[in-house]
Amino acid sequence: MMIPVRCFSCGKVIGEHWEEFEERARDGEEDPAAVLDDLGVDRHCCRRMMVSHRDLVDVVSPYQ
């Protein structure tokens, strides 16, 4: 599925950072922790949203 717009725990908007995070952190180009620091995602609850997310929307959408 797509990344939730807001952090489940604190409600901070994190969806706006997903595309840049994925692009920069994919393939190990940059350290994911450094990218999150750079994007201003500093709380642990928000960081776990980004780190643990997996985009499955393209996999699931044909079955809806």
> Min. distance of Cβ 50 from Zn ion in angstroms?
10
By CB under 5 A, name the binding residues for Zn ion: 7, 9-10, 12, 43, 45-46
Question: Using the 8-state DSSP alphabet, how is residue 55 labeled?
Answer: -
> Min. distance of Cβ 17 from Zn ion in angstroms?
12
3-state secondary structure 3-44: CCCECCCCCCECHHHHHHHHHHHHHHCCCHHHHHHHHCCCCH
C-beta of 9 vs 23, nearer to Zn ion: 9
C-beta of 42 vs 59, nearer to Zn ion: 42
